[in-house]
Amino acid sequence: MSIKSWWQNRWGKPKKQEPEGKSDEFSKENLREFVYLDEVSLRSLLSSLKGDLRDGTSEDSSDTLELEAEAMVEANTPLVGKAGASSRFQTSNSSSIQTSRKATVQSWFRDFRTIEGIRLVEKATPTKAATDIEALKRTDDTSLKVASRDLVRGSLVEFRVELAADPVYHLSTVTSELAGMADDYPEMFAAGGGAEVLHELAPVRKVLERLLAGLVPIRATSLDYVVIQLDGTEYVVHKELIQGLDLNSEPLQIVGVTELLAYWKDLRRVIFSEAEFTLLARISRTGIQSSWTPVKLADIFREMVPQLVAQINAAGKVPFAPQVDETSPVMHKLREALAHYATHALALSGTVLEHPDQAELAYLIETLKVRVASISDQRSAFKVLHRWIEGHVSEGISSEQSYELRETARDETGLSLFPALDTSVANASVQIGSEQKEVQVERERLLDVEIIAIYW
């Protein structure tokens, strides 16, 4: 017998070693990659369930976020203004946030997801569809059917969603990027008055950027769940559960605010692609909502500027240049604002118009009141009126005085600072090509949440 034969008979052929616990530990469900993770919320929740969590590398995170925040602030200085504008929509993995810390955070998340019974709604698929309404009513699995009143603040929910930024963030992004391109390549925007329009949009952009304050509002559509009504009560139900039933359903939208620095991926690859992700969150307002304020800081100004919140909520949902008819309230507001401006401008210069000039002024205001569709149109109306008044007064009106008079006229008459976002315009008829259409804000069924993680 050869030595080789003896060895094989003695010990046998070597067996291929399978990774221990492979079938249980590794699966498609465990293949997880984060695009957003609120580490503070995760650690707080896990600590409340399992006790104190200690990790030697977790202290690096606070220093890193502080350095990133400082970098963004410094980017607003005149010397590096362009760098700040470009970095606003980008995130990168800082070298000071060590890979080991991110791995630790992901292990925390894995431990958190293994805890059973803490999620009111989790990803599930019904074994079969409900045969009739009575069978649907008997379904008591909250991951398949849950009443609006049971969606209580603080409850943990998990949905597959088509992720997208709220329209107000789209508006802020578009205006910021267009303004940056107009500054870098002015000749591209010179034709057709594009530069003037962007100049007029600058106040909108600056207001939104200040109010957003580093937050990114998210509006995601659930892929598996819809909202229905049963016996006068709203329910969130799985689509497959009601398949074949004659029920009216409405899309369920998951809305919430995320922090810019908590994204692990470039924002442009995440919130503008409308890709599918899983979203884990806690409910922040009990029940299904019909409205939501994406810019949280705007609520501070609700008492001083009541229309501001409504105008911001309507951002991106109506055209920038709606065509309004003679009965439009906005048109009447512009006429009143122009008359207010003219009255106080003449009083400021101590001028009293003769009867023919008064008639000419009234006719001018009537012709200018149609310039209400956009910020640029409104500004042009005030400019034309300003030039006419300067031609009839002995002492000119400075640009500072004109600005103060214009803003006072807006405040006194309630003329919107953002005419395209005015709720009175949202339901006006608009001209699209040669066709007249009605612009209406769709009914929305929203679940307002605090987002913990977004992954796939």
Q: Is residue 366 part of a domain?
A: yes
Q: Could you tell me the end-to-end alpha-carbon distance of the chain, in angstroms, rounded to an integer?
A: 58
To the nearest 10 degrees (0 to 180), the angle between helices 375-390 and 329-349 is 30
Phi/psi zone of residue 287: left (φ > 0), alpha (ψ -120 to 50 degrees), beta? left
Q: Is residue 13 part of a domain?
A: no
Residue 331 · residue 324 · CB < 8 Å = yes
Residue 340 · residue 382 · CB < 8 Å = no
Q: Is residue 59 part of a domain?
A: yes
Does residue 427 sit in the same domain as residue 293? Answer: no
Residue 242 · residue 228 · CB < 8 Å = yes
Phi/psi zone of residue 232: left (φ > 0), alpha (ψ -120 to 50 degrees), beta? left
Does residue 228 sit in the same domain as residue 286? Answer: yes
CB within 8 A of 298, min separation 6: which ones? 211, 308, 309, 312
Q: Give, for all 456 residues of the chain, the pLDDT tens digit.
A: 555 555 455 444 444 444 444 444 555 556 788 999 988 888 888 888 887 666 544 444 444 444 344 444 444 444 444 444 443 444 444 444 455 577 788 888 888 888 888 999 998 889 889 999 999 999 999 999 999 999 999 999 999 999 988 888 877 777 777 777 777 766 666 655 555 566 656 666 777 777 777 788 999 999 999 999 999 999 999 999 999 898 999 999 999 999 888 888 888 778 887 889 999 999 999 999 988 888 777 666 666 665 666 666 665 555 444 445 555 677 888 889 999 999 988 888 888 888 888 889 999 988 888 887 666 678 888 889 988 988 888 777 888 888 888 888 888 887 865 554 454 444 433 333 334 444 444 578 999 999 999 998
Assessment of whether the complete model's pTM goes beyond 0.85 = no
Phi/psi zone of residue 220: left (φ > 0), alpha (ψ -120 to 50 degrees), beta? beta
Instruction: Give dist(CA 37, CA 455) in Å, integer.
Output: 8
Q: Is residue 239 part of a domain?
A: yes
Question: DSSP label at 327?
Answer: T
Output the six-digit token pair for 73: 């602030």
Phi, then psi, of 123 in degrees rounded to 5 = -60, 125
Does residue 242 sit in the same domain as residue 116? Answer: yes
Instruction: Give dist(CA 244, CA 133) in Å, integer.
Output: 11
Instruction: Give dist(CA 256, CA 261) in Å, integer.
Output: 16
Q: Is residue 1 part of a domain?
A: no
Q: How many CA atoms lie less than 13 Å away from 193 in the CB half-sphere? A: 6
Output the six-digit token pair for 217: 């509002």
CB within 8 A of 404, min separation 6: which ones? none
Q: What are the pLDDT digits (tens) for 94-139?
A: 444 455 577 788 888 888 888 888 999 998 889 889 999 999 999 9
Does residue 288 sit in the same domain as residue 343? Answer: no
Residue 100 · residue 57 · CB < 8 Å = yes
Does residue 358 sit in the same domain as residue 244? Answer: no
Of residues 319, 280, 265, the one with CA closest to residue 427: 319
Does residue 179 sit in the same domain as residue 306? Answer: yes
Q: Is residue 199 part of a domain?
A: yes
Instruction: Give dist(CA 312, CA 41) in Å, integer.
Output: 28
Does residue 341 sit in the same domain as residue 247? Answer: no
Q: Is residue 2 part of a domain?
A: no
Amino acid at 139: T
Tell me how many domains the chain contains. 2
204 is in which domain, residue-wise? 32-317+441-456
**Cross-strand pairs, 251:** 226
Does residue 224 sit in the same domain as residue 366? Answer: no
Of residues 399, 419, 401, the one with CA closest to residue 410: 419
